[in-house]
Amino acid sequence: MPDSVASVYFGAMPVIHASGGIQAFLPVLMKAAGFDRKFHDKDFIAVKLHFGEKGNHPPIAPEWLRPVTDLIKKQGANPFLTDTCVLYKSQRDNAINYLKMAQNYGFTPGKTGAPMIIADGLTGNDEKEIDIPGQLFRTVSIASAAAHATGFVVLSHVTGHLAAGMGAAIKNLGMGFASRKGKLRQHANMKPYVSEKQCTGCEICTRWCPADAITMNQAVARIDSGKCIGCGECVTVCRFYAIRHDWQTEAPDLQKRMAEHALGVVLNKTHKTVYINFLTSVTKDCDCIGKNQTPVIEDIGILASDDPVAIDAASLDLILEKAGKPIEELAYPIDPWEQIRHGEKIGLGKRQYELKSL
């Protein structure tokens, strides 16, 4: 097989059902993909996934994680489950409430085999700045625990996405492991602004701003865009959601920024990073929507690879094959291949793959 082609391992739903279900099939899939030889003694392996949203149960069940954490521990490594805080108003916008929600959904060490850590700290600003050979960025801000991890098992539920076209491995890495500052850099191309109706005049933002860019004007905060450095501290500390961003970054640009943050997460760790994509309960919107959604296509199966670009490309191709139409016709009219093209361009992975069905 040429070096320019990545291997993607695939279990179709009939095979999975014949094996006894997803929990029973995962060890078979992971061993076929060589995941049982990836990690070593004393490695810290982050198992990255989405723990669900209030009103929307997690698409990856807690009990499915036991085969994953068992495989990591058999190699002498230390697994931990992780995700990051979100920018918007949600139970997931701080570590305490997010952990409580995840535990309520069953993500406990007794069930999953590993403890949970919110990778970017209490409010999303525990971060490391990582140098990357990007085209849009020279540095990216990623969650501190991701920076300190030795390797990753990235579990992604494939969905449509209203801004990126598709959410899968690249988004799970790039957006999912970005700190608050990193998320802002991806989503916004303008500086934050203050909503006068929401501002209470508490002045907390003025005390936290590292650039002294915020002053009070008649008990309302004002941001000097000339001084603002776009760090996101004011968004982090404002508990009244009075400080906001322009979310109108165009989809191609967002996807490129996402891919470059993904590169920052796995840079120098690709030999200890693996991916599992779940083409089950594929929905129009991502899992951050606060309600259970109706799938837009029948369940297809599960993929595994050590290449995030290849596994996302294979996911798109399998959706097209199953539905007879691309995901942009099932979800949103946004070309999701931009993140894959850019990911290959910057060295995140390979677009060409060989699908190896089990």
Per-residue pLDDT in tens (0 to 9) along the chain, 358 residues: 456 899 999 999 999 999 999 999 999 999 999 999 999 999 999 999 999 888 888 899 999 999 999 999 999 999 999 999 987 777 888 999 999 999 999 999 999 999 999 999 999 999 999 999 999 999 999 999 999 999 999 999 999 998 889 999 999 999 999 998 999 888 766 568 899 999 999 999 999 887 899 999 999 999 998 888 666 678 768 889 899 865 545 788 889 999 999 999 999 999 999 999 999 999 998 888 878 889 999 999 999 999 999 999 999 999 999 999 999 999 999 899 999 999 999 999 999 999 999 9
Cβ-in-10-Å burial (0-12, 13-18, 19+) of 357 comes to exposed
Q: Between vectors from CA 251 to CA 249 and to CA 255, what angle results, nearest 5°?
A: 105
> In degrees to the nearest 10, what's the CA dihedral of 305, 307, 308, 314?
-60
Domains of the chain: 6-186+249-357 (3.40.50.11440), 191-244 (3.30.70.20)
The three-state secondary structure class of 114 is coil
pTM for the predicted model, two decimal places: 0.87
- Residue partners of 319: CB distance under 8 A and separation at least 6: 158, 279, 282, 297, 300, 326, 327, 330
